[in-house]
Structure 1
Amino acid sequence: MTAMTDSPGNNFEIEDLFERADLAAERAGLRMTRIRRHVYRLLLEADEPLSAYHIADRLDGIGSPKPATAYRALDCLEKIMRDINTTIGIWTPASNLPARNLTS
């Protein structure tokens, strides 16, 4: 598994976060498509917030390199993260968790 350090003392397993996102997507009637998974990984690994234009530039042939593709993925991920926040309670606006990189 790939470990990610968000800040001193906070280690997150990326695969665990993907499992939570998969479950939340299913509950919301959505799927974590290949593009959504790639965008989510970009957000998790980013050192700073990413715009849709930055994300589109990093789609690496997975999807259309247009900002609209990134916006659709971000919109869906926002719904999934809300479900995680509601059911698990780990995503809060004031936290420094990886979701902080979800910007529009």
Structure 2
Amino acid sequence: MSHKYSQRGKPESIDMVVWAPQGNSQDTKVLQVYQKYFNGKPLITNTFNTGYIESCSAISALGCVLYCLKKEIPIWPQLTGIESFDNIKINNEINNILVLSSTDLGYNYALVVNRKPF
């Protein structure tokens, strides 16, 4: 774990991961990070519900997640086809959300959002 990452907090502090799968080899990279550090936490995307696959779909999914959590609306069904991801239970204690995205060219970004007001 890099020094910069360790200053930002521990993986255990993340309550949910939002991502934007594209159906390419970059998805494997994101899933490996998820399984190593966040396995068992909700893994949320709207790619399979909306068809959006570019990096903006992670931000779209984040917006939908934040809206659902604020309004106490259940998160939409996950449709990855991977049972262990699709059946994760989501509780109401979601505060720290990690957003991950990659491109077919290997560009990546990560963003952590805390839902609690300052």
Q: Which band: TM-score by shorter chain?
A: 0.3 to 0.5
TM-score scaled by structure 1?
0.36
Hey, which of these two has a bigger chunk of strand by percent?
2
Task: Tell me: higher relative CO, structure 1 or 2? Use CA pairs within 8 A at least 6 residues apart.
Answer: 2
Hey, which of these two has a bigger chunk of helix by percent?
1
Larger Rg: 2
